[in-house]
Chain A
Amino acid sequence: QVQVVESGGGVVQPGRSLRLSCATSGFAFGNYGMHWVRQAPGKGLEWVSLVWHDGGKKYYADSVKGRFTISRDNSNNVVYLQMNSLRDEDTAIYYCAVWFGQYEYFEHWGQGTLVTVSS
């Protein structure tokens, strides 16, 4: 059974950094790209970032480009999101999901981890 579990959220001051983790099991992690998606309070879902199965390519939404870095550890089946220079508008629940690249969609979502950026 596929499991996707995010962690690392918390309260952080504006301008500071935080690293989220997404631990997975139950599937061939090294064969799949992984996405991060977020939902700010009272807002809709927003795509954040994708990393290819081998970490060879990475993509970012304009809203986080230059501040967030996605990475992965295929030995431990984990994907990370390093968030720097955090802003109030980065406050959100961050979800991890598996990328099914053949049809460009998200599957096997985690339960999310809450990041609150506040002074």
Chain B
Amino acid sequence: QTVVTQEPSFSVSPGGTVTLTCGLSSGSVSTSYYPSWYQHTPGQTPRTLIYNTNTRSSGVPDRFSGSILGSKAALTITGAQADDESTYYCVLYMSSGIWVFGGGTKLTVL
């Protein structure tokens, strides 16, 4: 069974830049997996940030960007703000009607 891997936690200073990654237990992530990224704070509705590797969803500030870095998908947050503190999930489309979420990265801004 394919596992989508993410860093369990990450820390960034206010105003700093952080890159979160999304990999596969076996193989490399490519654009054909249509990587997407979501922000989810407990008690709130998940928010779509990035789709199709690097396209920002409507209303998402350009501080958030997506890319492929080496063998992984990546979400970069520049100029981190206090309200960026949340859990970030990547999702990969495995084809044949299966989507797999990563375990999420809990981002702390301090």
| Chain A contacts to B: CB under 8 angstroms | 35, 37, 39, 44-47, 50, 57, 59, 61-62, 95, 97, 100, 103-107, 109-112
Q: Are the C-beta atoms of B34 and A104 separated by less than 8 Å?
A: yes
Q: Are the C-beta atoms of B51 and A105 separated by less than 8 Å?
A: yes
The distance from the CB of B31 to the nearest CB of chain A, in whole angstroms, is: 10
Selected from A46, A105, A110, the residue in CB contact (under 8 A) with B45 is A110
Q: By CB atoms of chain B within 10 A, which of A39, A61, A97, A110 has the most?
A: A39
The distance from the CB of B55 to the nearest CB of chain A, in whole angstroms, is: 7
Residues of chain A contacted by B52 (CB below 8 angstroms): 103-105
**In whole angstroms, what is the CA distance A110 to B99 when docked?**
18
Selected from B36, B96, B102, B104, the residue in CB contact (under 8 A) with A106 is B36
Selected from B38, B51, B87, B97, the residue in CB contact (under 8 A) with A100 is B51
Residues of chain B contacted by A107 (CB below 8 angstroms): 48, 51, 57
Residues of chain B contacted by A44 (CB below 8 angstroms): 87, 89, 101-104
Interface string of B52-79 (1 = CB under 8 A from A): 1001010000000000000000000000
**In whole angstroms, what is the CA distance A61 to B2 when docked?**
12
Residues of chain A contacted by B96 (CB below 8 angstroms): 59
Residues of chain A contacted by B102 (CB below 8 angstroms): 44
Q: Are the C-beta atoms of A59 and B97 separated by less than 8 Å?
A: yes
Residues of chain A contacted by B99 (CB below 8 angstroms): 35, 47, 50, 104
**In whole angstroms, what is the CA distance A66 to B91 when docked?**
24
The distance from the CB of B8 to the nearest CB of chain A, in whole angstroms, is: 10
**In whole angstroms, what is the CA distance A78 to B91 when docked?**
25
A44-B104, A109-B45 known, 16 other contacts, Cβ within 8 Å: A45-B40, A45-B89, A47-B98, A47-B101, A50-B97, A62-B1, A95-B45, A97-B46, A103-B34, A104-B99, A105-B34, A105-B48, A105-B52, A106-B36, A106-B46, A109-B46
Selected from B1, B57, B98, B101, the residue in CB contact (under 8 A) with A45 is B101
The 6 closest A-B pairs by CB, nearest first: A59-B97, A104-B93, A105-B51, A104-B34, A103-B52, A105-B36
